[in-house]
Structure 1
Amino acid sequence: MPIATSRGASLYWEKQGQGPALVLGAGLGGVGSYWTPNMAALTQHFTVYRFDQRGTGRSRREAVESIEQMSADLVAVLDDAGLSQAMYLGHSTGGAIGVATALDYPERLSAMMIYASTTHGDAYRRKILGLRSVLFSQLGVEAYAQYSTLLLYPPYWINTHESEIAQSEGVTPDQLGSAEIQASRFDAILNFDRRAELSRIAIPTLVVCADDDILTPRYFSEEFVRLIPGARGHFLPRGGHALSRTEPALFESIAVEFFQGV
């Protein structure tokens, strides 16, 4: 079982497939298994690396300090995997980790896809994540998982995937740390704001978001497109925050076309 070490934390990672290196970074849930529905398609074209972020899954369960700390964790995974450079696909919080890495370790990423992420923590996001934190700490992880389902998936998908959702909610307690650890992850993403520096990003960048994403609304992705030189936006009419799961074939075609093109 591959384990990287970063600033005292052990970080689980794994690889699968053949071809150019593509690293996947998950969102607030933090676990590499988020990408399982997409692995069959992506590994046909790339050697795919995925990892459990600090505080989640099979990595060390401890609070995080910042997105920059999690970016250093990503670099530690790259080092442990023997990758001097790789392409990167980040979902939500994982997108912010990619942005921090492109700014602070510019030689390590060759291309980046920012998927359903945020440029900063505004009043809307603070209200949503504040409620998630209260639910976790006062009602428990089961209530947190159920609310997360409503934030990640649009109604049309929830109505046709009841058993899959029940299974996903059922494993949430095994994937997350304590309420305090998850609150530290909320704070990290809400406090992340590198907008003044985004003009320094010099790698091919694609920004993807669904119009019905209520967790990271489209205006954040539009801001990334405005501020990152040469960045392109790809917006979909539906799919919610978990577009890679609700519309996997469409999402995978977008990712494969972009990364093969660079």
Structure 2
Amino acid sequence: MYFEVLPAKKTKAATVVLSSGLGGSAHFWHKQLAALSTDYQVIVYDQLGTGRSPAALPKDYSIQHMSNELSELLDSLDINLCHFVGHALGGLVGMQLAVDRPALLQSLVLINAWSSPNPHTLRCFNIRKAILESCSAEIYLQTQALLLYPPDWIVNNIDLMQKEEQLALRHFPDKTNLLARISALSQFDNEAQLREFHVPTLVVANKDDMLVPWQRSQWLANKLPAATLTLFDYGGHASSITTPETFNSLLLEQLGRFSVA
């Protein structure tokens, strides 16, 4: 599995693991790396079956598989304690990791994540599956942008977005793998385990998220014993990209609160 370890500029730094959403790409976090790597060792990775981590995923592929894969990677790097930041699908991986290995996690940040399927998000993924079956990767990525970003952000950043889409095309995942990943996140349900969570958690949501209703984050924060909710009015589904300064400031505040000196 492809990964990068960015060393911190200070000694004895805590480790932050960044896990992206459905696309699975380490590049998703490029606007966070400079801000984080001053005080933290940062690990990013291309999830198995995406980008630079080619693999044939099994038909029964699940969030549990993804948690196991990340756990093995962290063990190979001798990481026994870290902060975990997950966006959407990455947040589900973090929640599974919190069940499997709670002692590994200093804190969790869950961005536009959810604890069980909801009708709106499932419809969005059904549309994605239909596009994968009948259209080009270019059309899939254009549709994805409508779910990730606010309309005005697209208008004001169209050149940048088109460059990012060209990069995504060069590393576009195998269709079978992408369908398996959509199936995995569509079936994820850990409602019965939420009360068992004791990892300090920040839940982040955006009211203008077109993919995941912000109320799902509110529900999640209310159910987790050690969670707080930060709710933004603007940013869409990918606020780490659309409002990086605001997002990075919040992230650094959260990590500082739970880092060991």
Structure 1 counterpart of 2:5: 15
Alignment match, 1:138: 134
C-alpha separation between the residues in 2 aligned to 1:82 and 1:215?
A: 36
What CA distance in whole angstroms lies between the structure 1 residues aligned with 2:3 and 2:14?
17
Report the equivalent of 1:239: 235
Instruction: Please tell me the residue identity of whatever aligns with 2:39.
Output: H
Q: Write the distance in 2 (CA, Å) between the matches of 1:189 and 1:90.
A: 13
Tell me which of 86, 94, 98 is aligned to 1:98. Answer: 94
- TM (norm. structure 1) is 0.94
Q: How far apart are the structure 2 equivalents of 1:62 and 1:206?
A: 33
What amino acid is the match of 1:102? Answer: A
Runs of 4+ deviating beyond 4 Å: none
Q: CA deviation at 1:109?
A: 1.2
Q: Does 1:177 align with 2:170?
A: no
Match of 1:58 among 52, 55, 72: 52
- Kept in 2: contact 1:176–1:182 (CA 8 A): no
Secondary structure at the aligned position of 2:126 is classed as helix
CA contact (8 A) 2:120 2:212 kept: no
Structure-2 residue corresponding to 1:26: 20
Bigger shift: residues 202-211 or 55-64: 55-64
1:123 offset after TM fit, Å?
1.8
8 Å contact kept, 2:50–2:174: no
Alignment of 1:223-234 (within 5 A): 223-234=219-230
**How much identity, in percent, do the aligned residues show?**
31
Q: CA deviation at 1:121?
A: 1.6
Equivalences, count: 252
Superposed, 1:178-197 pairs within 5 Å as 178-197=174-193
1:29 to partner: Cα distance = 0.3
CA distance in 1, matches of 2:50, 2:200: 29
Cα deviation for residue 119 of structure 1 reads 1.4
Structure 1 window deviating more from structure 2 (37-46 vs 84-93): it is 37-46
Task: Tell me by how many angstroms 1:252 deviates.
Answer: 0.3
> Which runs of 5 or more structure 2 residues have no equivalent in the other structure?
none
Does 1:36 pair with 2:30? yes
Which amino acid in 2 is paired with 1:124?
H
Q: Give 1:251's aligned residue.
A: 247
Deviation at 1:168, TM superposition (A): 1.2
Contact 1:61/1:177 (CA < 8 Å) preserved in 2? no
C-alpha separation in 2, matches of 1:177 and 1:125: 21
Name the SS for the 1:242 alignment partner.
Answer: helix
* Amino acid aligned to 2:41: T
Equivalent residues of 1:89, 1:113 under 8 A apart: yes
Which residue of structure 2 aligns with residue 72 of structure 1?
68
The reply on whether 1:165 has 2:161 as its aligned counterpart is yes
Secondary structure, counterpart of 2:86 in structure 1: strand
Task: Verify the 8 A CA contact 1:141 1:172 in the aligned structure 2.
Answer: no
Contact 1:29/1:175, CA 8 A, preserved across alignment? no
The separation in 2 between residues aligned to 1:52 and 1:174, in whole angstroms, is 14
| 1:81 shift after superposition | 1.4
Q: What is the root-mean-square deviation in Å for CA atoms of aligned residues?
A: 1.0
Please say which of residues 239-248 and 16-25 is displaced more in the overlay: 16-25
Shift of 1:230: 2.1
